[in-house]
Amino acid sequence: MKPTMNRKDLLTKDDIWNAVISVVCACDLPTTDSILGEAFIAFHYYSELESGGHETLLSWTESYSKEHGIERYLNELITALEKIGAHDYAMIERKYGHEMWNVYIALENDASQEEEFYKVIEKADGEYYQLDGKLEQLVEAYFIKIHTDLIDVVDD
């Protein structure tokens, strides 16, 4: 069931951003609502990458990826990124996603994989940061576009 909000509380981009984040953060993957799932994945990708890069993203997605498979997670992530127009970011995940995951899992059992792990993380993070923060604008624009799909907006 969608939450209800008053239109007067959703007048600015910041209002909408905050409202959608509240909805997104109240759910878990997997979800039966495809728009909510895409918003969830796009927002958490952005948040985790800005907080600590791909290493933080891998830690955050570890249990979901182990339970449902890395292939499913990467497909969902790439689909969500492409849907919001973040094609350059999707390319990074296509290029490095499997390799990062494989070395991340190998590192759990073999500490000698640490150097290899950080090599691939640094490459992926470097390409992410070269895009100079475009992702925030894309996520914001997507949130504005879909907020009425996630929130019932009412007039007084």
pLDDT per residue as tens digits for the range 19-56: 999 999 888 777 778 899 999 999 999 999 999 999 99
Q: Identify whether 4 is part of a domain.
A: no
pLDDT, position 133: 87
Q: Identify whether 96 is part of a domain.
A: yes
**Does residue 83 contact residue 90 with C-beta atoms inside 8 Å?**
no
Helix, strand or coil, per DSSP, at residue 123: helix
pLDDT, position 27: 84
**Does residue 129 contact residue 87 with C-beta atoms inside 8 Å?**
no
**Does residue 29 contact residue 40 with C-beta atoms inside 8 Å?**
yes
pLDDT, position 127: 97
pLDDT, position 156: 74
DSSP-based helix, strand, coil % in the chain, nearest 5: 80, 5, 15
- Tens-place pLDDT, residues 122-145: 999 999 999 998 999 999 999 999
Pick the residue with more confidence: 1 or 68?
Answer: 68
Q: Identify whether 154 is part of a domain.
A: no
Domains of the chain: total:
1
Q: What are the angstrom distances between the C-alpha of 149 and each of 29, 32, 105, 143, 145?
A: 18, 14, 37, 10, 9
Residues 6+ apart with CB under 8 A from 114: 107
- Tens-place pLDDT, residues 9-21: 999 999 999 999 9
pLDDT, position 152: 92
Q: Identify whether 6 is part of a domain.
A: no
Q: Identify whether 105 is part of a domain.
A: yes
Structural domain of 36 = 11-149
Q: Identify whether 2 is part of a domain.
A: no
- Tens-place pLDDT, residues 53-110: 999 999 999 999 999 999 999 999 999 999 999 999 999 999 999 999 999 999 998 9
In the chain, DSSP assigns E strands to 4-6, 152-154
pLDDT, position 44: 94
Phi/psi of residue 86, each to 5°? -95, 60
pLDDT, position 57: 96
